[in-house]
Amino acid sequence: MSKRFFGTDGVRGKVGEEPMTADFAMRLASSAAQVLVPKGGTVVIGKDTRLSGYMFESALEAGFVAAGADVLLIGPLPTPGIARLTQEFEADLGVVISASHNPYWDNGIKFFDRSGSKLTDETELKIEEHLQNPAITLGSQLLGKARRIDTARTRYQDFCAASMPDGIDLQGLKIVFDGANGAGYKVGPRTLASLGAEVIPIGCSPNGTNINDGCGSTEPGLLQLTVPALHADVGVALDGDGDRLIMVDENGELIDGDQLLFVLATARHQVGQLQGPVVGTVMSNLGLEKALQARNIDFRRVSVGDRYVLEALKKSGGIIGGETSGHMLVLDKATTGDGLICALQVLAIMKDSGEPLSKLVAGMQKFPQTIVNVRTETRMDPGASTEIQEAVVAAENELADTGRVVLRASGTEAVIRVMVEGEDEEMVVSIANRLASVVADAAAQIALVER
């Protein structure tokens, strides 16, 4: 049985359109309560800085309270902070209102279980089964209560700061921090400053509509200009909900998730603290795989999505994994992807080694890689098209053993991502554009038939 509403990272969509309506949010809360807190319990609710967060916060609060659950309202805080506080408050469920790196007119709702981990596919299916019914309202004596937690931000800041290795602080580092005008806009600069860094904040003035707009990990151009202009040591950029990390070296060069995984894994390996394999995805750069193999570090690929990276790490006993986009896991520090905590681990390596970030990433040579996003009228499976499959086989034959082709449907929007990677950049770009054209034509034919 396939899921209708839950994607790779909770429920997400355009505000005002199903499923991102106040009515749906209330029913979702009611359904989640019936599955996960049927006899009453505690639910933690946090959000990012989107204007629609107020509406969804109120709707979720009403749905949970009506179903008998007590609610702790956290306010704006990074997604991993909600996962952490779910554990700290010994709550039964954590809820985050966020569409991550998407623009402000989108929003989403995602859940954590009591251990701070994302829900399984089976649990999400059970919640969807209840969505067919109206939200329940118990009798007055069985209703839950709601209250705001004023100490949430400082609790999470303390947790992040404590992830630094013993005896290492950030004294002497000048850091430009880009909060994407999102959930990390306060905790990021304050945590870095508490560890002794000189912090220059940008993208830290949210107004409800400027989240991820020209800033953050998805649009780091301003950060790349600011770091060398201010003679800073490094730049740190989160996305809107703070679970992704991109960095900029002292020269203004962008350092992506694959390169950061290389830095984290090799540093741990050198001191004998790397457990299990490093886990990436089918989109991880081939250069990461080859650089780790050259150092006798096991590397494994899984489907795109941090939940699949997490699952593979748990099964293999690994502790470090992530995605090119900067969604990384360091499981001996946090239970879920945490941009700020991962940044602190990289900064600690810089401070301990005395090396700039540019030198730390120099051991990994990235293969030229092009990703073309093909928007479609409706979601589609590229593997279901004979024309697309034939084009993929032809592209793979052209690349031979010097590259890879990956086509995948986005889990959050009607987009097919066409990724081509190889030694020859000109060839890579040409093949990617040809494949994207084939995908666009096939998608148009499918849409025409469906009409």
Active site residues: 100
Q: Which of 277, 311, 314 is CA-nearest to residue 292?
A: 277
105 three-class SS:
coil
Handedness of CA 239, 242, 244, 250 (dihedral sign): positive
Residue type, 224: Q
Report how far residue 147's alpha carbon sits from residue 70's, in angstroms, rounded to the nearest whole number: 8
Asked if residue 40 lies in contact with residue 70, where contact means CB atoms within 8 angstroms, the answer is: yes
Q: Any residues with CB less than 8 A from the CB of 139 and at least 6 apart, and which?
A: none
Torsion-angle region of 409 (φ positive above 0: left; ψ -120 to 50: alpha; else: beta): beta
Q: Which helix H or strand E contains 390, and what residues bound it? A: helix 386-399
Q: Directed axis angle between helix 79-88 and helix 152-161, to 10°?
A: 100
Q: How far is CA 389 from CA 283, 367, 401, 406, in A?
A: 18, 24, 18, 11
Report how far residue 230's alpha carbon sits from residue 278's, in angstroms, rounded to the nearest whole number: 35
Asked if residue 442 lies in contact with residue 387, where contact means CB atoms within 8 angstroms, the answer is: yes
Distance of CA 307 to the CA centre of its chain: 10
Residues in the chain: 451
Q: Phi/psi of residue 217, each to 5°?
A: -65, -25
